[in-house]
């Protein structure tokens, strides 16, 4: 199940952070989740996995996750325990992949300018309210559709389908 | 309604759909490539045992073709076994080529169908009037189990092209120009339809390049209304019946843009973003270490033909490597029959097995730190082809071949009759 409120340190990125930067192509062959976690954001910030702690929050400008359909990009961020990803906009397939595996992704225009790396944030996933505890600034993300909230509340598409299959087979 | 909306409505079993609505659609063809063993894992993790309809599933071993590490080999082995166990006959092994080209070659891409592949460039199939879109492993596993997938009905943007293309300017130049003007996030979550006089000059291959690259402006799918050029192509390839949808007169697009291409110059996208686009002349003289011709955007027979024409009887620069990757076995065979392979190898080209090769930064043409590559592929992200300090310029196949010849970036128009 997803945590309803994420609280952690902000890691801020610029616009157009693509899936190759989130997870370089040469590691896509890896399938063990522990191995996948070692390479999160490696193309954008080689120190990321050393500094990122479970529950911390990624903040980005526009088009975060643009590029490839590789689900590894979302999986690697889930594997490091990202509390939420807040961006001005997302690459389409990344957004879908993140929701499918149960990672909260919030769209919040203008957020890139309101937060600096290292700020402590509280993100209410359901209401979309983002509080910057370091500066006192509050921002409001766009609400997620009911369909998307249902998937997140189920912990992702996999448990959701599994449950559906079980009820069909009963 | 728009043709795309009519298509989605039919697949969702509804009379009509409207923008923003979420619909659950039957998927006509679901493709998985060898980067996505997670698809098989997700299938079992969800409790799947039998694939819903194996005849609607196609497996491509194209990104690691042939495997160059033990892990890749093991992933491919598991895919083959999954196909055999599940009765999936459409196993496109390492001898076939890039998924989108293989779908076109085999007549599996045609109007009126939903094609979903675990590859972002599935927008390519808009060139045939299909609804093509890329997804990740978990979405694809959902299709394997249920035969369906949810879609949000997208806003649709119309991009209209007027004017005749000048000599030495191709579909790749048009779409790079459009992305440069509109931006890499312009069409996120939206569909892009191409219309206009210029399309009549563009072959299916060129239309595929246009539609392929809409992914680089964030598009969910793309569309070109099937016409006589489409029909001529499909006549030779497709044996089954299909339906062509048409847009109602007066349909209101979310946005419309017109570009006059008659004065367009060859274009380049400079590092490190696909929308960092300018005329090729802005970089004339820039030394290059590698020229790369291939991929689902730039590895078709027409692309190899242009390169062969530029390099016939000549030699590539001694300081440059020229890597050529035919997009599919079909492309390779035709290029051999027409003599392009001979011409290019004599000029100094290195041929690589049909597939994705270095386009995604795994093997067969990786860049070292500080090296510069000009390529007919579709992405120039940092680290895309190897080292994050390797620089990638995107251009037309003609621009790639001309640069291989000179060892530096040049305007390719001067080499075209």
Residues in B closer than 8 angstroms to A166, CB to CB, are 47
- Model ipTM value: 0.94
Q: What is the pLDDT of residues A112-169, one digit of tens each?
A: 999 999 999 999 999 999 999 999 999 999 988 888 889 999 999 999 999 988 887 7
Q: Does the beta-carbon distance from A67 to B42 stay under 8 Å?
A: no
pLDDT at A167: 86
Tokens of B315: 């030699």
Those residues of chain B that have pLDDT short of 50 are none
SS3 of chain A: the string is CCCCEEEEEEEEECCCCEHHHHCCHHHCCCCCHHHHHCCCCCCCCCCHHHHCCCCCEEEECCCECECCCCCHHHHHHHHCCCCEEEECCECHHHHHHHHHCCCCEEECCCHHHCCCCCCEEEEECCCCEEEECCCCCEEECCCCCHHHHHHHHCCCHHHHHHHHHHHHHC
Nearest to B104 by CA among B118, B124, B90: B124
Residue A1's pLDDT band (cuts 50, 70, 90) = low
Going by C-beta distance under 8 Å and a sequence separation of 6 or more, which residues neighbour residue B265? Answer: B166, B169, B173, B279, B280, B281, B411, B413
Residue B130 main-chain phi, psi, to 5 deg: -95, 165
Q: What letter does residue B166 receive in the DSSP assignment? A: P
Q: What is the pLDDT of residues A35-57, one digit of tens each?
A: 999 999 999 999 999 999 999 99
Query: According to the model, what pLDDT value does residue A170 have?
Result: 67
**CB–CB contact A92 B47 (8 Å):** no
Answer yes or no: do A158 and B138 touch at CB < 8 A: yes
The pLDDT value recorded for residue A169 is 73
Q: Which has the closest alpha carbon to A14: B271, B296, B168, B273? A: B273
The sign of the CA dihedral A42, A43, A47, A52 is negative
Out of A16, A25, A69, name the one closest to residue B134 (CB). A69
The secondary element (H helix, E strand) that includes residue B159 is: strand B156-162
B211 alpha carbon, distance to own chain's centre: 7
Residue entry with tokens 């060898």: B34
Q: Which candidate, B322, B320, B318, places its Cα nearest to that of B345? A: B322
Chain B residues close to A165, C-beta within 8 Å: 46-48, 145
Chain A residues in contact with B119 (beta carbon < 8 A): 69
B160: closest CA among B198, B126, B122, B129?
A: B198
Residue A2 banded pLDDT, cuts 50, 70, 90: low
CA distance B384 to B387: 8
Asked, as a colleague might, if the bond just before B272 is cis with ω within 30 of 0, I would say yes
**CA–CA–CA angle B116, A44, A59 (5° rounding):** 80
d(CA B298, CA B394): 10
Chain B residues touching A48 at Cβ < 8 A: none
How does residue A3 score in pLDDT terms, banded at 50, 70 and 90? Answer: confident
pLDDT per residue as tens digits for the range B235-284:
999 999 999 999 999 999 999 999 999 999 999 999 999 999 999 999 99
pTM: 0.96
- Closest CB to B47: pick one of A25, A96, A166: A166
Instruction: Please tell me which residue of chain B has the smallest CA distance to A101.
Output: B138
Categorise residue A152: left if φ over 0, alpha if ψ from -120 to 50, beta otherwise: alpha
Mean pLDDT of A3-13: 94
**Whole-number pLDDT of residue A147:** 86
């Amino acid at each position: 199940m997803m945590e309803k409120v994420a609280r952690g340190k902000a890691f801020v990125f610029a616009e157009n952070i693509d899936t190759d930067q989130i997870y370089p192509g040469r590691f896509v062959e890896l399938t063990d989740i522990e191995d996948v976690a070692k390479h999160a954001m490696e193309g954008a910030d080689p120190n990321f996995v050393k500094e990122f702690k479970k529950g911390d929050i990624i903040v980005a400008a526009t088009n975060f996750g643009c590029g490839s359909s590789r689900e590894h990009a979302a999986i690697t961020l889930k594997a490091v325990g990202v509390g939420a990803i807040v961006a001005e906009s997302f690459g389409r397939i990344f957004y879908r992949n993140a929701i499918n595996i149960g990672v909260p992704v919030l769209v919040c225009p203008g957020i890139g300018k309101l937060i600096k790396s290292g700020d402590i944030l509280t993100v209410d996933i359901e209401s979309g309210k983002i509080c910057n505890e370091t500066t006192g600034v509050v921002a409001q993300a766009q609400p997620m559709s009911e369909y998307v909230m249902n998937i997140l509340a189920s912990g992702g598409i996999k448990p959701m389908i599994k449950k559906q299959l079980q009820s069909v087979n009963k | 309604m728009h043709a795309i909306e009519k298509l989605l409505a039919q697949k969702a079993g509804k009379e009509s759909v409207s923008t923003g609505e979420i619909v659950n659609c039957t998927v006509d063809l679901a493709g998985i490539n060898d980067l996505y063993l997670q698809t098989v894992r997700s299938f079992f993790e969800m409790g799947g045992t039998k694939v819903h309809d194996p005849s609607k599933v196609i497996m491509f071993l194209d990104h690691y073709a042939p495997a160059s590490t033990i892990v890749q080999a093991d992933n491919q082995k598991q895919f083959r076994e999954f196909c055999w166990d599940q009765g999936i006959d459409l196993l496109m092994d390492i001898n076939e080529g890039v998924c989108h080209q293989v779908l076109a070659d085999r007549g599996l891409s045609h109007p009126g169908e939903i094609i979903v592949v675990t590859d972002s460039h599935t927008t390519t199939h808009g060139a045939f009037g299909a609804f093509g879109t890329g997804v990740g492993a978990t979405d694809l596993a959902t299709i394997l189990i249920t035969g369906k997938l949810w879609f949000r009905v997208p806003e649709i943007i119309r991009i209209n092209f007027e004017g005749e293309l000048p000599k030495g300017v191709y579909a790749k130049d048009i779409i790079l120009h459009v992305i440069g003007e509109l931006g890499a996030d312009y069409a996120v979550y939206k569909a892009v339809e191409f219309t206009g006089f210029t399309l009549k000059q563009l072959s299916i291959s060129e239309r595929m390049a246009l539609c392929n690259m809409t992914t680089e402006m964030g598009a969910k799918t793309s569309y070109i209304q099937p016409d006589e050029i489409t029909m001529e192509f499909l006549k030779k390839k497709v044996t089954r019946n299909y339906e062509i949808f048409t847009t109602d007169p007066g349909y209101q697009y979310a946005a419309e843009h017109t570009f006059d291409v008659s004065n367009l110059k060859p274009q380049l996208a400079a590092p490190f973003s696909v929308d960092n686009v300018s005329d090729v002349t802005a970089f004339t003289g820039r030394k290059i270490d590698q020229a790369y011709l291939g991929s689902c955007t730039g590895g078709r027979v027409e692309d190899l033909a242009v390169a062969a024409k530029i390099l016939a009887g000549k030699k590539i620069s001694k300081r440059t490597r020229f890597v050529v990757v035919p997009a599919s076995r079909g492309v390779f065979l035709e290029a051999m029959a027409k003599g392009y392979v001979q011409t290019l190898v004599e000029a100094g080209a290195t041929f690589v097995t049909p597939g994705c090769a270095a386009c995604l930064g795994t093997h067969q043409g990786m860049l070292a730190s500080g090296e510069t590559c000009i390529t007919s592929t579709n992405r120039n992200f940092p680290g895309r082809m190897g080292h994050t300090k390797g620089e990638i310029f995107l251009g037309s196949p003609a621009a790639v071949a001309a640069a291989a010849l000179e060892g530096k970036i040049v305007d390719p128009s001067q080499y075209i009759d």
